[in-house]
Amino acid sequence: MTRTLHPYAHRILSAIKDTSTLTSADRIAIACSGGPDSLAALFTICAISRTGHLPEPVCVLHYHHGMRGAEADADADYVIEMATRCGIPAEVGYGQGMGWNEQQARDHRYAWLVEAACKRGANVIVTAHTSTDQAMTVLLRMLRGTHTDGLAGIPPRRWLSGGIDVARPLLGETRDAGIAYLNDIGVTSRHDPTNDNTDFPRNRLRNTFGELTSEFNGNLTDALCRIADAAREDSSFIELHVQELLDNAATSLIGIWKIAPLVAAHPALRSRAILDILARTLPQDCHEAALVELNVRTLGRVLINGGKVVLPGGFHVEARGPWLVFSDSGKHPGVVLRVDQPITLPNGLQIQMHAVTDDEDVVADPSGMSCFVALPGGGQGIVLRLARSGDRVGLKRTVTDVCRSAGIPPEERPGVWVAVYPTTGDILWVPGVPFGQRTLQQGVPPTHLLVAYEPS
C-alpha cells in the first residue's frame, strides 16, 4: 500500500510507526490554518488514511482569531475548500482577538480546538509542527535561558486537556520539504502576514534562522533536533524518579511543599522537581517567563538557605520552617475548615471541627491537644493558615510566645499553623500545642479541634 504514497508522506508514515505518534485506534482532528505546514499535514494524513494505515480524520478544525478582517475570512473559506477536497467536514471557530497578545491568541485557539475536537468525538488533534519549528523552539529557549528539560523541545505527542492529546507527525520533516510536497500535488497555501511581524521573538528568529544556518552550521536544524531528542529521552527516564520525589514532597494543601525531601535529593532530581512544582503551581500565563533555569537555581538556593523570592507574575515563594510556600500576595491563604470536615495539615496533624452544644457530654482533655472555642452565633468555619509576624493569641501573648513555651525551636516556628476566626482575625489555637481552655467531647480523638456554637 505504501508504494502509492508520495515520498514525503511515506517518510511521515514511517515516523508515525516508529514513534507511535498516531495509531489505528485514534479519532483524528486536524488543526489547519491554511498555511503550508498545516496543509501539508492535512493532505499527508488523508493520503496515509487512504492506504489503510490510519483511520480517516473525523474533521478539520480552523480557528478565526478575529484579528485580520477579510484576509482571515478568506483563510477560513480556503480551509473549508481544502477540507472538502479531502472529503472531510470542516469546522471554524471564531474569536474576538483584537488586543490579544501572542500567548492569549494561542490559549484561546487551543481551548477552542479541544472543545471542537471533543464535540466531534476526536481524541487527538494533529498540529503541523515541523523540524524547523522544533529547532527554533530549542534555540529560542536556549537564548531565553531554559532549564535543561526545556531542551527537549516539542514532544511528538502529549496530553492536552479534556481527554484530548495533541500529535505532531511532521516533526521529522522540514518546512521546505512540506512546501515541496504541496507543489508536487498541486496545492497552494495561504500566507498569514502576522508571521512577518518581528515584534514577536519567534518571528524575529525565523527571519534570521537561515543566516545562522549558513554562517555557523549548515545542518543547524538537524543538530538542534538531535539535542531535543536526546534531552527528551533523558528527561523521560529522570521523570520516573522525579515523580517519586514529588510524591514525598507534596502536601494536602495547594501551594505548600515539604522542603526536607527536596533538599535531600540529588541536585539533578531536585532541579527537575522544582521545575515541575513551578509548572503545577504558577498560572499558565506565567510559564514562559517563570520556567527558566535562573528561577530553578534561585529556588534551589531558597530551599537550602531559606529566604523568599518573587517570580514572574508576582508570585511569592518563601521557605517557612519546613515548608516551601507559594502565594500570589506573599501570604498563603490557608484552608477553610468547616464543621465535621476533617483536614490533615502538612505536618500530619488531623484537625476536625466538631459542633457541640451545652447539653452534650464534654470532658477535660488532659493532653491539651484539643481546644474548645465558642464562636459567635452562626459561625460556620475557621481558617487554618501559617502563622504570620505579629499574630497574637488574646491580648497578652504572641504566637511566638506560645511556641517558645511549647519548646518549638526558632527555626521551626515560621512553619507553625494557627486556627483563625476569619471574621475578626482572632487566633483561636495553635494546633498541636497545648493552649487555652481544653475540653474534649467523649469519644473524639485528642487531635481534633472542638468548636462550640449556639444553635439558631
Q: What is the pLDDT of residue 196?
A: 67
Q: Is residue 124 a contact partner of residue 164, using CB atoms and an 8 Å limit? A: yes
Residue of 237, 62, 232, 42 lying closest to 134 (CA atoms): 232
**Grid coordinates belonging to 53:** 494505515
Is 317 exposed, middle or buried (CB count within 10 Å of its CB: 0-12, 13-18, 19+)? buried
Q: How far apart are CA 378 and CA 382, in angstroms?
A: 12
**Grid coordinates belonging to 191:** 500566507
**Grid coordinates belonging to 121:** 468525538
State pTM to two decimals.
Answer: 0.66
Torsions phi, psi for 172 (to 5 deg) = -90, 0
Walk along the chain (456 residues) in steps of 10 and give the mean pLDDT of each run. 80 95 96 96 97 96 90 94 97 82 84 96 97 92 83 93 94 95 96 73 80 84 93 88 94 93 94 90 77 86 93 88 90 86 85 72 64 64 88 85 88 90 83 63 64 57
| Each residue's pLDDT tens digit, 235-266 | 888 888 999 999 999 998 989 999 999 999 99
* Structural domains present in the chain: 2-222 (3.40.50.620), 250-327 (3.30.465.60), 335-453 (no CATH)
Q: How far apart are CA 169 and CA 172, in angstroms?
A: 7
Q: What is the pLDDT of residue 431?
A: 83
Which are the contacts of 268, defined by CB distance < 8 A and separation ≥ 6?
238
Q: Which helix (H) or strand (E) holds 102?
A: helix 102-120
Q: How far apart are CA 276 and CA 239, in angstroms?
A: 10
